[in-house]
Every structure is written in C-alpha cells, then in structure tokens.
Amino acid sequence: MEPLPQKNICHEPTYRELFYAHARHVRNFLFYKGASATEAEDLAQETFLRLWRDCAKVPVEKVKGYLFAVAGNLFLDEKKHGQVVLRFQRQAQPAEAADGNPHFDLETRELQDRLEKAIAQLPENQRIVFLMNRMDKMTYAQIAEHLDLSVKAIEKRMHQALVELRQILRNI
C-alpha cells in the first residue's frame, strides 16, 4: 500500500486553500496588535508572499504557526520604523483632486486617525473585545467562547473599552 501524498505548499491549489483559510485571521491578528487596517492588510499580504517564497521549507502542518510568527515579526519591524515611514507618507501624499471636497476629506482622515489612535491606546484585553465585536461582528457569546471567558466578563470589557474611548477622544 502506497503512502498518501503529502500536500505541498508550493502547489498553487494548496497555497490558495491555505490563503483562504488563514488570510482573514492573520489580518485581524495584525489589526488587534495595533496596526491600522491598511497596515494590517499590507503586512498580511507580505506574510503570504514570504510563505510562497519559503514554500519548500515550511511543512503544511506548521503553516499556521509560521504565518503568525512571520506576521508578528513584520508588525514589530514595521513599528520600529513607523515614525520615519509616517513622516515620509505625509510628505509624499499627492495634492487633493480638484473635483473632491478637500476640507471634508481632511476632516474624515483626521477623524479616522483619531479613532485609530484611541483604539490603539486601549488596554489589549479591551481592544481585542472591542475589535472582535465591532470589526468581526461577533456577539458577546461568540467572543466569550473564543476567549474562554464568561459573557459577563466580555460585557464588562466592552463597557470599559467604550468608556475609555470616550475619555480618550475627548482629550485628543
């Protein structure tokens, strides 16, 4: 009897299957760590590019660990260089299009920045519950099950997160 062939990550259908199975989780992991939505998306893409580059070296059964380790390391590297990148991005932004409303666009960007900064200032346990509820649209019961906590604990963390966000946004 022949042994079953082992899945090869370098085989495109297998890679695609792994991407669809893990991409959202990797992106959310990065977002929960404190990356902006755009950064999380970019870092998740880079994580999967590195998986493709190293596909022959990574066993299929270790893919999930590999993805989260690479994503975490990319996030830390990004934060180390974040201040320089942020200054460069602000200097390199193109002028507003003449047909848009620059004042409205500016206010929208400023509000988005304030909100992202406020969420990043939340304690990790509150930020995770807040984002799971508001971004992933998970119920308190689903979050409680996922984090192995009681629904009451999730309700308390969410309440604390909302109180904290109100306070932070008042001060910004």
Residue 14 identity? T
Mean pLDDT of 13-30: 92
Element (H, E) at 87: helix 82-92
Token pair in block for residue 147? 């984090």
| Residues 51 and 121 reside in one and the same domain | no
Element (H, E) at 6: none
| Residues 87 and 13 reside in one and the same domain | yes
**Is position 100 within any domain?**
no
Band of pLDDT at residue 82, cut at 50, 70 and 90: low
Q: Residue 114 is part of which domain span?
A: 105-172
Decide if pLDDT at 6 tops 50: yes
Band of pLDDT at residue 98, cut at 50, 70 and 90: very low
Residue 154 identity? I
